[in-house]
Structure 1
Amino acid sequence: MSFQLNPNFKKSLLKFIYASTIVASLVLVMDITLFDIPNINQNPLIRQNQLQFWICIYFLFDFFLLFLLSDHKYSYLKRYGILILISIPYINIFEYYNINISHQSFYLLKFLPILRGTIGLFLLAKLLINNKITGLFVSYIALFFSIAYLQTLIFFIFENGINPDVKTYGDVLWWASMTATTLGSNIIPITTAGKISTVILAITGITIFPIFTVYITSLVQNLNHQRNISE
């Protein structure tokens, strides 16, 4: 059974949950960008990861809360069950049991909860934006920036120290901007992971940018249609 709540209260509660999920993900992004990336060549397990742990705990709590609020629990589990897998605090579990992992694996696991925030942003856009076209556009833009950010992190982890053209995270941002816009970058990936990231980012750019053009065209057509009606 789902909780029988007032529809307006339920909608407000869902907004709060989705917004909190996004804020938690942004905090994690800042933590990774400001503290982990500058020290990426050091042993990552030296640093305490309590922030990651509590963010993951919140994500698990918010999943089960949304499950209880759902009117169709089986459909919810079928559609969003993967959120459990990307919300588990793997790093803290490995630390607790003294399981050694490579620093590449460490960062890949640390990136997983960021995906939870992306999905939260999709759901919040769907809830707040009545216009389906605008809601879809916002969702695609969120997806693009999430994928782009994740690919820059993966590219930096695997290429830094191996690729002579990748000295700082700024170099990777240049690579990402040129790759996503399909202009081509002077930074050529060396590792397998770097090559895969380049392909994923290029395909994402090719897919997303036409959607931006279609959205602008749709807005112009709607404005012209409304102006013709008013005249």
Structure 2
Amino acid sequence: MPTPDPEEEQLQNERHELLHQLTEWLETPMLVLGFAWLLLLGIELIWELTPALETLGTTIWVIFILDFLLKFILAPQKLSFLKSNVITLISLVVPALRLFRLARVFRAARAVRGLRLVKVVGSLNRGMKALTNSFGRRGVRYVLALTGVVLLLGAAGMYAFEKDVPNGLHTYPEALWWTAMLLTSMGSSYWPETSEGRVLCFILALYGFAVFGYFTATLASFFMGRDADDPEAEVAGAAAVAALHEEVRQLRADLRKGKETGDL
């Protein structure tokens, strides 16, 4: 087995440290741009972007590309970096089709909605990363904020895909209500008719299932913790067990003391 080159290993460590520092420096600006990107995508799906908003969206997209390229250049393991950012890479490539008017080529193949679907999924992925940096992974605030983003943006996507379908989701409030029912596992009598709507519905259903399990576990932990602190609860809590251990220890000390003094 070849011995690793110390100079090369040091260079890899320096590149990794530089990449970490760059990520920390750009965390706040990219967080703001990430939320602005989500807002613009929601406006695009529900209404239409004005020329000024399109220019703003293109500018943010270019900044995202420069950020991705810079991090890719500094990444010590480039293949691993690409594998962990596949969705981000795809979401950066898709807007180029619209920028260069290539979407017209695919219009006959009805791929415009498919490109929108990829953009929605990629934007949700970016939103997840932004919220992770804001609140921290696995926190209740993070899950609540992420669920709000998924609800609003998922409803915008469902509205964009299903608004032209007979008996579809013809208004955004209707799509918002339908998405909320889906995420809470209550369901609805309407079933998406477009292929893109069905794919997005499946993704939203998976997310709703995962979040429902998370909140169920959180509530169970809360009630179990409250019962553990309640001395009158049926199940002995940590405080009660600790008190019992202290009583046993004190009883043993008293017995040992009684033997030494001859009282026992």
Q: TM-score, normalised by structure 1?
A: 0.68
**What is the aligned length?**
218
Change (3 A) 1:16 1:145: farther
Change (3 A) 1:202 1:19: same
Partner of residue 94, structure 1: 101
1:1-231 alignment, distance < 5 Å: 1=11, 4=14, 13-34=22-43, 36-39=45-48, 49-88=54-93, 89-94=96-101, 101=107, 104-105=113-114, 107-108=116-117, 110-111=119-120, 114-115=123-124, 117-121=126-130, 124=133, 129=136, 135-137=137-139, 144-145=147-148, 147-164=150-167, 166-218=169-221, 228=239
1:21 Cα deviation after fit: 2.7
SS of the counterpart of 2:41?
helix
Structure of higher CA gyration radius = 2
CA distance in 2, matches of 1:94, 1:109: 17
Counterpart AA for 2:33: A
Change (3 A) 1:170 1:77: same
Identity %: 21
Counterpart AA for 1:33: G
SS of the counterpart of 2:205?
helix
CA RMSD of aligned residues (A): 4.1
Instruction: Give per-residue Cα distances to partners, 1:78-101, cap 9 Å, x unaligned.
Output: 322543232133321226x97574
CA distance in 2, matches of 1:65, 1:220: 47
CA contact under 8 A between 2:162 and 2:169: conserved in structure 1? yes
CA distance in 2, matches of 1:6, 1:182: 43
CA distance in 1, matches of 2:122, 2:24: 19
CA distance in 1, matches of 2:138, 2:70: 25
Q: TM-score, normalised by structure 2?
A: 0.61
Counterpart AA for 1:79: S
Q: Which runs of 5+ in 2 are unaligned?
A: 1-10, 230-236, 244-264
CA distance in 2, matches of 1:17, 1:200: 30
1:4 Cα deviation after fit: 3.6
Partner of residue 132, structure 1: none
CA distance in 2, matches of 1:6, 1:94: 38
Q: Which runs of 5+ in 1 are unaligned?
A: 130-134
CA contact under 8 A between 1:94 and 1:100: conserved in structure 2? no
1:188 Cα deviation after fit: 3.8
1:171 Cα deviation after fit: 0.5
